[in-house]
Amino acid sequence: MAEPVHGDLPGLTRPDRAPDWSDRHEARVDPAIRDARGAYLKAIHNFPAWARLALRLRNRIVAPFGLHTEGAAGGDLMATLPVVHDSADRFEAGLADKHLTFTIETVLSGGRAAVTTRIWFNHRSGRLYLAAVLLPHKLILRHSLRGLA
């Protein structure tokens, strides 16, 4: 299983302003999940088969535009994102790309996990990209969070 890395992918700088878009989803967490990093990793490895297929298709479509399609050492992008914060109750990883910068924050509290996605647009193509992936994003996140219970 790939692990998030501390800064192996270049350019992770969050803009010094409020995100242009964010969403938050919550779910119960199995007591065996002891920290936020563990919850994050379990959630991203619980993507449904259709989502993995959609991500492969996404990578083929965006590669010619120079967008990130794989993570550190050629690994899964979501599993190897640079780490912004890592503590027992909060884990945040993200990536700055040409079209947008995003972070995914997982917070554990009271037997629940809250996942917040934050996006800063770097170019107007970031808005188009978000419009295209918004519905799959929400569906994948809800499915992945259900797997934490």
Residues paired with residue 93 on neighbouring β-strands, in sequence order: 83, 104
The 10 Å Cβ neighbour count of residue 114 is 18
At 108, give phi and psi (nearest 5°).
-100, 130
Residue 69 lies in a domain: no
pLDDT at 123: 92
pLDDT (mean) for 85-92? 93
| Residue 2: inside a domain | no
Is residue 32 one of the residues assigned to a domain? yes
Residue 29 belongs to a domain: yes
What's the mean pLDDT in 97-107?
92
Q: How far is CA 121 from CA 17, 22, 126, 130, in A?
A: 11, 11, 5, 9
Q: How many domains does the chain have?
A: 1
2: nearest Cα among 71, 66, 57:
71
Q: How confident is the model at residue 69 (pLDDT cuts 50, 70, 90)?
A: low
Residue 142 lies in domain:
21-62+77-146
Is 1 within a domain?
no
Q: Is residue 72 part of a domain?
A: no
Q: Establish if 137 belongs to a structural domain.
A: yes
How far apart, in whole angstroms, are the C-alpha atoms of residue 2 and residue 66? 23
The order of strands in the sheet holding 100-109 is: 21-28, 112-121, 100-109, 90-96, 83-86
- 4-62 confidence digits (pLDDT tens): 444 444 446 778 899 999 999 999 999 999 999 999 999 888 888 888 888 888 888 88
Question: For the whole prediction, is pTM greater than 0.85?
Answer: no
Residue 6, in any domain of the structure = no
Q: Could you tell me the CATH number of the domain that includes residue 81?
A: 3.30.530
